[in-house]
Amino acid sequence: MSNNWASVLAAAVLLSAAPAAAQSTAPSRQAETLDYVVRPGDTLIDLATAYMNRPLDYRRVQRENRVANPRRLSIGRTLALPVDLLRADPDEARIAGFRGAVSLNQGGVSGAPTTGQIVRESAVLSTGANAFVRLALSDGSHVVVPSNSRVRVSRLRRYAINGAVDHALTVETGRAESRVTPRTRPGGFAIRTPVSVSAVRGTDFRVSFDEASERSATEVLEGAVAVASGEAEQLAAADEGVSAAAGAVRLLPLLPAPALARPDAPQTQPQVVFEVQLLPGAERYRGRVAQDAGMIEAFAEADSPPGGPLAFGDMEEGAYFLRLTALSPEGLEGKATTYSFIRARNGVGGLASAMDQRDRRRFYRFRWEAEGVGEASFRFQLWRETEEGGVDGPLLIDQPGLTDEAFTLSDLPPGVYSWRVQGARHRFGRLLEAWSEPQQLRIGR
C-alpha cells in the first residue's frame, strides 16, 4: 500500500465505527496523531481539559511525548496528540433542497423535511421514486440522496482542537452522491455500506448498495477514494470504480459517457423517451432530468432495461436537462454527459374518417385532434395503395397550411387508400413537426 493510500484509508477509521470486517486491516485509530505546537501558557493539563475526552488523558500524552512536567512546556515544541483522545463535539447539517416524496426520521419523529431544516447525527433520509434530497454539510460539502434510497447520517462531529469536521454516512439501500471539500486533519469523510467503507478527505464520488446482490459500488469522479471490505482494499482514482462484496473488491475503469441517438430531437410524443447509442460494456443506461444543468433541481430519474430505451413517462412542457450515464454489469455507474432538450407536446391523434352521400355524390370527411399547447397548422396527405400494400403512384393529395382539424374530399374512385396528418407549431423558439400514423381507407363500388 502506498503512503498516500494509507493516509486516505486512515480517514475511514477516524470517522465512525465501520463494520468489523471493513476495519480488519485498517490502521488502528490509536496509531494516528495530530501535531500540536505549544503556545505561551499551554500546559498538558489545560490542553486535556480544553480539547480531550477526559482531563486525565494528559497522562498518556505526557508518557508518549516524554514530558517531564505536565505543567511546564517549552514554547514552540511539537507534541504528537493521539487522535483517539481528541474530543469531537456534535456538528450539524441542513436540508439544502428536496423534491418529491422525501422523509426525514430524526429523534424518533418521521415526516417530510423543510428546506433549511437542521439535520443531526443518526438522522435517516429516505427517498421515493423520482425524489431527491440535497444535504449541505457545515464545511460546504454536499450530499445528494437520489430516488429509492435510504441513507443514515451516522457521524456529524467537529474536533474542538482545530474545528476540523468529521462526517460519515451509511447507505442502507440505494445511492448517495458526494462532493466533499478538502478536509483538515484529523477530520475526514466516509460513506459506508453493509459490505464496504469508502473514505476521503476531499473529492467527488458516488456510493451505492444493492440489497439483492449484497454488493456496493463506488465511483470516483475527482480525487481518490479508499475502499475496504474485509481484508481486501483498493484505492480508486478519478474515472475508476470499485465493486465490493463481502471480503472482495474489484478495481475497474468507469465506462465513458454514452450518447443519445438523436440529441437535437424535441420530445413531442405522449411519453418522454430517449434512444441511446449502443456503448460497448454497458448493461443499461441511467438518466436524470432537471431544470438546471447542475442537476440541483432534479425531479425525475430512470434506468433503461437492458438494450432498451430510456423512458420517463409524461412530463410538463418546458426546457430541461438530461444527465446520461451507463452502468456496467458490475453495477458501476460511469461518466456522465448532459444534454439540453425541449419538452413540447406536438402530435395528431383521434384520427377518423366517414362517408356522407349527398346529391348522388360521395363525400369523405377526415378528422383528427391536435395534441399539444398553442396554435397548430396541419398538412394532409393521401395516396393509393396496391393490393399487396405498396404505394400505387405519387401522392393524390398533399395539402399544407390547414387550420381546421378536418379535411373533406369527394368522388374518390374505389380502391384502398392511406392517409396521414402532420401537426406543426412553434414552441420555445423552434418549429415542431410530427406526423400521425397512416390510416387506411377502403372504398368499394
Cell of 32: 494516528
pLDDT tens per residue across span 178-196: 999 999 999 999 999 999 9
| Residue 110 domain-assigned (yes or no) | yes
| Residue 3 domain-assigned (yes or no) | no
Asked if the model's pLDDT at residue 3 lies above 90, the reply is: no
| Residue 389 domain-assigned (yes or no) | yes
pTM of the model: 0.80
- Domain boundaries, position 293: 272-343
Asked if the model's pLDDT at residue 384 lies above 60, the reply is: yes
Most confident of 112-121, 290-299, 368-377: 112-121
Instruction: Enumerate long-range contacts of 339-342, CB under 8 Å, 24 or more apart.
Output: 339/260, 339/263, 340/293, 341/265, 341/266, 341/267, 342/266, 342/267, 342/318, 342/427, 342/428, 342/430
In the prediction, which pLDDT does 141 show? 96
Using pLDDT thresholds of 50, 70 and 90, give the confidence band for residue 247. confident
In the prediction, which pLDDT does 297 show? 86
Asked if the model's pLDDT at residue 148 lies above 50, the reply is: yes
Residue 321: which CATH number? Answer: 2.60.40
The domain tally of the chain equals 4
Of the residues 310, 343, 376, the one at which a domain ends:
343
| Residue 49 domain-assigned (yes or no) | yes
Rounded Cα distance between 376 and 354, Å, is 23
pLDDT tens per residue across span 321-342: 999 999 999 999 999 999 999 9
Q: Are residues 303 and 220 in the same domain?
A: no
**Taking all residues of the chain, what is their mean pLDDT, rounded to a whole number?**
90
Q: Are residues 327 and 413 in the same domain?
A: no
Q: Are residues 280 and 411 in the same domain?
A: no
Cell of 177: 452522491
Q: CA torsion, points 38, 40, 41, 44, in degrees to nearest 10?
A: 10
pLDDT tens per residue across span 6-22: 333 333 332 333 333 33
* Cα 342 from chain centroid (whole Å): 21
Of the residues 291, 320, 343, the one at which a domain ends:
343
